[in-house]
Chain A
Amino acid sequence: MTNRVCIVGIGVVESTENTAEMSHKDLLFYATRRALDDAGLERKDIGGAITATFDFLEGRSLSNQYTLDSIGGVMKPCDLRLGEDGIYSLFAGYMEVMVDPGQVTVVASVQKASERDPNGVGYQKLIAATLEPIFSRPVCSSVPNPGSLESVLAAMDARAYLNRSGLTEQQLAKVAAKNIGNVIQHANVSVPGPEDILKSDLLSWPIRRLTSAKESDAACTLILVSEKKARTLNQDPVFIRGIGWCSGKSFLASREQGTAKETKWAASQAYHMAGIRCPEREIDFAEVSDWYAHRELMHCEALGFCGANSVGSCLDEGLFDRTGALPVNASGGLLGRGNAVGTSGLIRVAQVARRIRSHNNGFKNPRAEIGLAHSWGGIPTATAGVAILGKW
Chain B
Amino acid sequence: MAVKSRIVKGFISLPYNWSMGPTTTRFYEEFKNKRIMGTRCEKCNRVLIPARSFCSGCFVETTNWVQVSDEGTIRTWVLINFSYEGQPMAPPYITGIIDLDGADVGLPHFVGGVELDDLETVAKKVRIGGRVKAVWKENREGHILDIDYFKPIN
Contact = CB atoms under 8 A, between A and B. Distances in A.
A22 interface: yes
Nearest to A24: B19
B19 A114 contact: yes
B56 A26 contact: no
Contacts of B24: 23
Interface stretch (B9-17, B87-95, B100-108): B9-17
Nearest to B59: A43
Contacts of A26: 21, 23, 53-54
Contact of A59 (B16, B20, B22): B16
A193 interface: no
A174 interface: no
Nearest to B13: A125
Interface string A93-128: 000000000000000000010111100011001100
B58 interface: yes
A275 interface: no
B18 interface: yes
Nearest to A75: B57
Interface residues of B, number: 23
Contacts of B1: none
Contact of A117 (B10, B15, B19, B20): B15
B17 A116 contact: yes
A114 B18 CA distance: 8
B2 interface: no
A33 B59 CA distance: 7
B16 A122 contact: yes
B11 to A, nearest CB: 10
Query: By CB atoms of chain B within 10 A, which of A23, A56, A72, A129 has the most?
Result: A23
B21 A116 contact: no
A195 interface: no
B8 interface: yes
Contacts of A121: 15
A185 to B, nearest CB: 29
A129 B58 contact: no
State the majority secondary structure of interface residues on A: helix
Query: By CB atoms of chain A within 10 A, which of B54, B58, B59 has the most?
Result: B59
B14 A74 contact: no
A20 B19 contact: yes
A69 B54 CA distance: 10
Contact of A69 (B12, B18, B56): B56
A133 B56 contact: no
Nearest to B54: A29
A72 B56 contact: yes
A55 to B, nearest CB: 10
A29 B22 CA distance: 14
Interface string B34-66: 000000000000000000011011111100000
Contact-residue size bin, chain A (C-beta under 8 Å from the other chain): 20 to 34
Contact of A22 (B12, B15, B19, B60): B19
Contacts of B22: 21-22
Given A36-B59, A69-B56, A74-B56, A134 B8 contact: yes
Given A22-B19, A122-B16, A125-B12, A29 B53 contact: yes
A42 interface: yes
Interface in A332-373: none
A129 B61 CA distance: 38
Given A33-B59, A43-B57, A129 B19 contact: no
Given A26-B53, A59-B14, A126-B14, A112 B59 contact: no
Contacts of B8: 133-134
A115 B58 CA distance: 28
A122 B15 contact: yes
Contacts of B12: 125, 129
Nearest to A122: B15
B146 to A, nearest CB: 20
Nearest to B10: A133
A321 to B, nearest CB: 37
Contacts of B21: 21-23, 25-26
A298 B23 CA distance: 44
A122 B15 CA distance: 6
25 contacts: A21-B21, A23-B20, A23-B23, A23-B24, A23-B53, A25-B21, A26-B23, A29-B53, A29-B54, A42-B59, A43-B58, A59-B14, A59-B16, A69-B56, A74-B56, A115-B16, A115-B18, A116-B17, A117-B16, A117-B17, A122-B14, A122-B16, A125-B13, A126-B14, A129-B12
Interface of A: 20-26, 29, 32-33, 36, 42-43, 56, 59, 69-70, 72, 74, 112, 114-117, 121-122, 125-126, 129, 133-134
Given A23-B19, A23-B53, 8 more contacts: A24-B18, A29-B53, A32-B59, A42-B59, A70-B56, A115-B18, A122-B16, A125-B13
